[in-house]
Amino acid sequence: MSNTRKRATQSDVARLAGVSPAVVSTVIRGKSNHNIRVSDETRLRVLEAMKQLNYVPDVVAQTLAGGKRRIIGLFSFEAVFPKEQNDFFRPFLLGVEKAAEANGYDLMLFTSAPVKNGRRAIYSDGINRLALADGVVLLGRNPAPEDLQRLDDEGFPFVYIGRKDAPDRSLSYVAADYRRATLDVLAQFSTQGHRHVLYLGETKPIERHHDREAGYQDALGRELIDEDATLVHRCDVKDLDAAWLDGVLSAGATAAVVEDILHAEQLYRLLVERGLSVPDDFTIGLLGEPDAPTELNLDWCGFTIPREEMGFQALISLLSRLERPLAHAAMQVTLPCTFHPGATLAPCPAFTA
């Protein structure tokens, strides 16, 4: 899809709304002055015209001569900016900061966005708040798909940290290679004799979960583990109980790879309550890293995510987009994860018998 069509101007908005450009400017600033008073009816007419034209106001350009401001925005759809040294999101932000400093750019944090349906929204009254920056690095677990598609339609430069798909288009992102990382974990399981491996995941999978399950399917295709459809489970944590564990063990599972920390910890508790040892009787692999403090604080087998490198590369990719404003292709970068043996991996009991 081409993102190079001419952007609407304040004059276009004024013409459609039947007002002067000064009135449009006043509406954008959000307040009247002693020279110009804007009624609610007129304000709504201007906002509707902006919406129809997909007008993106460039607030800074109203006062500057023009050109790049060398400001990169950083926006999260959830409140993820770190308060603790060991916060999961902190390395992403450090990577972005290092890349911005190395390239002579300032960072602007957008933290006061309106909340809609439990997540922050980029657009308020039809206005793209991110237009204060030359481009933006986006992050967050649950973005608003309509906001990403609208940014792409407007040609506003952005790069997402994490793989993001959208209908009928390609979006720019920097992601971890969860598919390969999951395959690497299962290859290690295979060398330890584990052939019957449970796959345990979320009930509403998104891109990062699909990538992990694809890695599990790759392991099946390479015959690293045995195929058994009864060992692929997507269920709520509350549904993991003693009866559920009975079914898993009856199917012959000696190990599990788990998408998230809540499911992994519940599986661990059930095994311990059954009198089984992790990892001597049952191996667990966590497909990633906990994104919040955990109750058990175990050293999980799994992989580490190159979070700081992802943040760094996201900003570098964004700068590349800014240097090639007429390029149509999305920039998509995937970075490798690193296997971590942890303390929850051991040989299959039957393998050592």
- Quick one: tokens of 195? 């052939």
The Cα 135–Cα 314 span in angstroms is: 11
- Residue recorded with tokens 């997909």: 54
Q: What is the pLDDT of residue 169?
A: 87
DSSP 330: P
Residue 5 lies in a domain: no
pLDDT in tens, 77-105: 877 665 565 578 889 999 999 999 999 99
pLDDT in tens, 217-266: 999 999 999 999 999 999 999 999 999 999 999 999 999 999 999 999 99
Q: Residue 59: pLDDT above 80?
A: no
Q: What is the pLDDT of residue 126?
A: 75
User: 184 and 108, same structural domain?
Assistant: no
User: 172 and 313, same structural domain?
Assistant: yes
The stretch 323-337 carries a mean pLDDT of 83
Q: What is the pLDDT of residue 3?
A: 47
The stretch 117-136 carries a mean pLDDT of 82
Residue 1 lies in a domain: no
- Quick one: tokens of 130? 């991110």
User: 315 and 298, same structural domain?
Assistant: no
Q: Residue 30: pLDDT above 70?
A: no
- Measured between its terminal Cα atoms, the distance across the chain in Å is 59
- Look up the domain containing 42 and give its range: 10-55
Q: Residue 66: pLDDT above 70?
A: no
The Cα 267–Cα 213 span in angstroms is: 18
Q: Is 312 left (phi over 0), alpha (psi -120 to 50) or beta?
A: alpha
When mean pLDDT is compared across 149-163, 221-235, 268-282, the lowest value belongs to 149-163
Residue 148 lies in a domain: yes
- Using DSSP's 3-state secondary structure scheme, residue 178 falls into helix
Q: Under 8 Å CB-to-CB from 299, ≥6 apart: which residues?
A: 342, 343, 344
Residue 114 lies in a domain: yes
The Cα 39–Cα 45 span in angstroms is: 10
Whether the full predicted model's pTM is greater than 0.85, yes or no, is no
User: 269 and 125, same structural domain?
Assistant: no
User: 216 and 122, same structural domain?
Assistant: no
257 to each of 8, 170, 233, 301, how far by Cα in Å? 51, 30, 11, 9
98 to each of 30, 55, 87, 262, how far by Cα in Å? 34, 33, 17, 32
The Cα 38–Cα 263 span in angstroms is: 55
The Cα 93–Cα 121 span in angstroms is: 20
User: 190 and 99, same structural domain?
Assistant: no
Q: Residue 297: pLDDT above 90?
A: no
The Cα 145–Cα 151 span in angstroms is: 10
User: 161 and 254, same structural domain?
Assistant: no
Residue 263 near residue 203 (C-beta atoms within 8 A): no
The Cα 222–Cα 90 span in angstroms is: 36
- Residue 31 — pLDDT band, cuts 50, 70, 90? low
User: 137 and 74, same structural domain?
Assistant: yes
The residue among 269, 266, 262, 339 whose CA lies nearest residue 293 is: 262
User: 239 and 193, same structural domain?
Assistant: yes
The Cα 171–Cα 152 span in angstroms is: 8
Mean pLDDT of the chain: 87
Specify the higher pLDDT residue, 33 or 191. Answer: 191
The Cα 181–Cα 304 span in angstroms is: 9
| Total domains in the fold of the chain | 3
Measured in whole angstroms, the distance separating CA 323 from the mean position of its chain's CA atoms is 24
CATH code assigned at 19: 1.10.260
User: 223 and 208, same structural domain?
Assistant: yes
CATH code assigned at 137: 3.40.50.2300
User: 347 and 206, same structural domain?
Assistant: yes
The Cα 64–Cα 29 span in angstroms is: 15
Q: What angle do CA 81, 85, 89 make, to 5 degrees?
A: 40
